[in-house]
Structure 1
Amino acid sequence: MPSAKRLCSLRSVTSWRRSLCAIAFAFVATTASATAVRAAEPLLAFAARIAGDDARTRIVVEFDRKPEFSIHYVANPVRVIVDLPETSFGLKPESLEPRGLFDAIRYGGMGGGTSRVVLSAKGPVEVSHAEVKPQEDGKSFRLILDAEKIDKARFDELLVDQQWTGTMRAVKTDRPVAVVKDPGAFVIAVDAGHGGIDTGAIGTVTKTEEKHVTLAFAEELVATLKREAGVEAFLTRDRDEFLSLPQRVQIARQKGANLFISVHADTLKQKDIRGATVYTISDKASDHLAASLAERENLSDEIAGVPLQSEPAEVADILIDLTRRETQAFSVNLARTVVSSFEGQIGLINNPHRHAGFRVLQAPDVPSILLELGFLSNKDDEKQLLDPVWRKKVSGLLAAAVRRYRETAVANGG
């Protein structure tokens, strides 16, 4: 029997039938194209719910299309990792409020076309049942996870049997490492803190997530620095994606950075505290506030479900030794120059140069600072952090500080 396409092309077919055939084939082609485009788009998680107690807990997440998924476990602390294709999470925050076996639930992008749900457990747990079911209307799907409490021996068996190390599939970035255009340029890595599954702090008034605040400022700072003669600047992340702390260091070193500036905007319980702070690395924290902040920032990888052993060996070796003394001295010099540039121009916290053991500052050969722009827990700071005019002003002050630092470093042979 001739194909439909051949039948439509026969001379015996009347012109009006040929027109109908043309319309039909155009419809098929359009439908196929739309299907392909939809398949390339991220999944949409549009609803979720959780129920259970300290013995058993069920989690249900609804998607617009059938999701592929995999489940893994991480210890110290116990976490259940659910890896997904790239997913847009349109969930109400209260829909996955932790309860039952879980005391924290986070979800978001991991970069490289993947997303993740991280279920932090109160103790050893096992997902005893996991399946995807179509909804009755056939237009959406439910991912159902049933978890139950188990003993440590059983959990240890799960860790051994899964043959999973949290490797780079879930944490890699799909961006190639760009080559610095001018080999003689002074190169600056600007690191927008947090991203993807790791949202960072949440604004008190606007509920803005820190990851968006840091990226907006980092983009402004890079644009400002690029206007400096002989300077090249780049972002460690240029989108809402997760990068592990070691990856941020790696990207800076691979691109030959002369400076590394990590941008943050944290929250504090004391809502009256406000102003910018500049941190450098030290094996001993300068004060309780610095120690507390470093502890929280160093949890970024844990929040995303990345076990320490998944870090590349090159970076893991770096983490063993504290930053070389010479590099640390340059970092302190940069921090002091930044504070000097800020004084009298923008608000600073008391004792604005502080230090603690920030893992993101541990490149052995790149002078590094962590800039706390202000606190999202303070309504006045939050307002400034969201103000493009304020961001432009602070970026200009930072660029001036970098210029003076560079002049001093060159004069001293650095």
Structure 2
Amino acid sequence: MRGADLVQPARFKRLAWRIAAVALALISGLVGTATFAGQVATGDPLAAYAARIVGDRARTRIVMEFDRKPEVAIRYIGKPDRIVVDMPSTLFTFPEADLRARGLFRDIRYGSMGAGSARLVLTAERPARLVASEVMANEGGEGYRLVLDAEMVSQQDFDALVSDQTWMSASAEAATSAQRGDRIAATEPAVPGAFVIAIDAGHGGIDAGAAGATTKTPEKEITLAFAKALLERLKGEPGIEAFLVREGDEFLSLSERVTIARQRDANLLISFHADTLRQNNIRGATVYTISDKASDRMAADLAERENLSDAVGGVSLSSEPAEVSDILLDLTRRETQAFSISLADAVVRSFDGQVALINNPHRYAGFRVLQAHDVPSILLELGFLSNKEDEKLLLDPAWRTKIADLLAIAVKRYRLPVVANGG
């Protein structure tokens, strides 16, 4: 009886996390989604209910415990050096502190990649490779554990790992896109003559973005709430058709966001964000447009952080196609940039006196989500989650409605001269 008593706590813990995982799945609408890599559907996602990490800067071990057996795919991506572990749809229910980066890894991220898959991204402090990766049954036959043993290698050896499996990485990205129901090349065309607005909620899935100073609310939830509010506000506007680039808690690369906007023939792209700053006394909204040269240091730092979204999600930047530069393309880009600046000015005018703005509220930097050469685009920093006053407003439904109303005014103010000029 005593031996059985020793086993019961572990069983109860696994059962508790299992119940919690099912409940979360029902709430988030994940039940019944497709499974990863042909795994037999069981009606709900896996639950990763425990994790631990040990080691030093030479060798590091990561262990994750699951309620059921996960099928995983491992690959390497450079610049920055990362080990990416793809797995089926998974709810990560263990405390964040249990898998805090240490040893060989300077950053560890995990989360959803969409409806059918999840991902663990290990960003290396120094080049590393997995010398062992194994999925094994737990003692007593209840649950499974994934064990990842990493060791440091030379940069040359790591680059060789990346090079030797580049073709696998590309196919893995394609498989992951297909698993989550890729919306690229599967979008409905806009109504003829409609003025189309792509509303982009920044971050999502594995990339949670910033977190509130007081509530710890992730940026990805705030941006999606504002995106939905603007979509609802624009529904009744004649001649305007709006859509969400990111519809739920899914990860989309920056390139995918741009491609979705272009394939829906968007006339505008508005990307929502709510970042943090080291100086928690700074607050207010900012509107950004794209430029090769940043307007100031804060804009440059913000663009650098936002452009890291792909690294957080384990995306290989080298797989993205480069645009061919020619005179016509350059002229189109210049015209688009001028329209983007016009839109930014319209937003600032609409917000002025109604919404707190930082000094010089129209700024510019090299944001990759604004890079479409033929879609006027702005990035709207709604406020800073590092500031308690801004955070309170960002969580206020009435404030979201007000922002949506003011943005609708700005869009209509921008649209009139554009339509009059045949844009």
Regarding TM over 0.5, the answer is: yes
Query: Which of 202, 207, 210 in structure 1 is aligned with 2:216?
Result: 207
Distance 1:319 1:237 in 2: 29
Residues 78-113 of structure 1, C-alpha deviations (whole Å, 9 max, x = no match): 111111011111121101111111111001112251
Residues 385 and 37 from structure 1, CA distance in 2 versus in 1: closer, same or farther, beyond 3 angstroms? farther
In structure 1, distance between residues paired with 2:372 and 2:164: 35
Identify if the C-alpha distance between structure 1 residues 232 and 319 changes in structure 2 by more than 3 Å, giving closer, same or farther.
Answer: farther
Residue identity in the other structure for 2:93:
G
Which residue number in structure 1 is paired with residue 169 of structure 2? 165
Corresponding residue number in structure 2 for 1:16: none
Q: Which moved more, 1:113-122 or 1:147-156?
A: 147-156
> Paired residue for 1:307, among 281, 304, 316?
316
The 3-state SS of whatever aligns with 1:382 is helix
Residues 151-195 of structure 1, C-alpha deviation per residue, up to 9 Å, x if partnerless?
Answer: 233323322333433432234551543324521111100000000
Structure 2 counterpart of 1:123, from 123, 126, 146: 126
**AA aligned opposite 2:86:** D
Which residues in structure 2 correspond to 1:374-385 (within 5 Å)?
374-385=383-394
Q: Which amino acid aligns with 2:188?
A: V
> How far apart, in 1, do the equivalents of 2:175 and 2:361 lie?
39
- Going from structure 1 to structure 2, the CA distance change for 1:161 and 1:37 (only over 3 Å counts) comes to closer
Structure 1 stretches of 5 or more lacking a match? 1-32
Other-structure match for 1:174: 181
- Taking the aligned partners of 1:347 and 1:265, their CA distance within structure 2 comes to 14
Contact in 2 for aligned 1:87/1:114 (Cα 8 Å): yes
Tell me what 1:183 maps to. 192
8 Å contact 1:171–1:243 — kept in the other structure?
Answer: no
Counterpart residue type for residue 137 of structure 1 = G
Instruction: Supply the AA of the counterpart residue of 2:181.
Output: D
Q: Name the structure 2 match of 1:142.
A: 145
Q: For 1:404 and 1:287, how far apart are their aligned partners in 2?
A: 28
Q: What is aligned with 2:261?
A: 252
Distance 1:171 1:244, change over 3 A: farther
Give ranges in structure 2 of 5+ residues lacking alignment: 1-31, 33-38
State the match for 1:241 in structure 2: 250
Find the partner of 2:98 among 88, 95, 99.
Answer: 95
Give the residue type in structure 1 aligned to 2:293: K
Cα distance between partner residues in 1 of 2:318 and 2:221: 29
* Secondary structure, aligned partner of 1:137: helix
State which of 58, 71, 75 in structure 2 corresponds to 1:72. Answer: 75
- Alpha-carbon distance, 1:319 to partner: 9.4
Does the C-alpha gap of structure 1 residues 149 and 371 become closer, same or farther in structure 2, counting only changes over 3 Å? same
Match of 2:418 in 1: 409
Q: For 1:132, what is the secondary structure of its paired residue?
A: strand
Alpha-carbon distance change, 319 to 233 in structure 1, aligned in 2, over 3 angstroms: farther
Q: Deviations over 1:193-217 (max 9, x none)?
A: 0001111011110001000100011
CA distance in 2, matches of 1:264, 1:165: 29
Distance 1:378 1:407 in 2: 36
The answer (yes or no) to whether the contact 2:190–2:196 under 8 Å persists in 1 is no
- Cα distance in 2 for residues equivalent to 1:205 and 1:233: 33
Any idea what the Cα deviations from partners look like across 1:251-270, whole Å, max 9, x if unmatched?
A: 00111111100000000000
Alignment of 1:12-411 (within 5 A): 39-111=42-114, 113-162=116-165, 163-166=167-170, 167-171=173-177, 173-176=180-183, 177-180=186-189, 182-311=191-320, 313=321, 316-317=322-323, 324-411=333-420
Choose 1 or 2 for highest CA Rg.
1
Post-superposition CA distance 1:284-311 (Å, at most 9, x none): 1111111110111111101111111222
Relative to structure 1, the CA distance from residue 290 to residue 181 in structure 2 (aligned partners, 3 Å threshold; closer, same or farther) is closer
The answer on whether the counterparts of 1:318 and 1:363 sit within 8 Å (CA) in structure 2 is no
Counterpart residue identity of residue 341, structure 1: S
Distance 2:174 2:358 in 1: 38
How many angstroms does 1:332 deviate by? 0.3
Q: How many Å separate the matches in 2 of 1:257 and 1:318?
A: 21
Q: Secondary structure at the match of 2:248?
A: coil
CA separation in 2, counterparts of 1:156 and 1:329?
Answer: 41
In structure 2, what is the Cα distance between the partners aligned to 1:282 and 1:119? 31
- Tell me the amino acid that sits aligned with residue 373 of structure 2: P
Cα deviation 1:37-75 (Å, max 9, x = unaligned): 971311111110000011111100011110000111112
What TM-score does the superposition give when structure 1 sets the normalisation length? 0.87
Contact kept? 2:73, 2:86, Cα under 8 Å = yes
* Root-mean-square deviation over aligned CA pairs: 1.9
How far the C-alpha of 1:116 sits from its partner, in A, is 0.6
Match of 1:17 in 2: none
Q: Alpha-carbon deviations, 1:121-142, whole Å to 9, x = none?
A: 1111111111111112322111
* 2:190/2:265 contact within 8 Å kept: no
Per the alignment, residue 11 of structure 1 pairs with: none
Separation in 2, partners of 1:307, 1:115:
16
**Aligned CA distance change for structure 1 residues 58 and 91 (closer, same or farther; 3 Å):** same
Q: TM-score, normalised by structure 2?
A: 0.85
Does the 8 Å contact 1:112/1:169 carry over to 2? no
Q: 1:199 to 1:319 in 2, by over 3 A?
A: farther
Greater mean deviation of Cα atoms: 139-148 or 175-184: 175-184
AA matched with 1:165: S
Identity %: 60
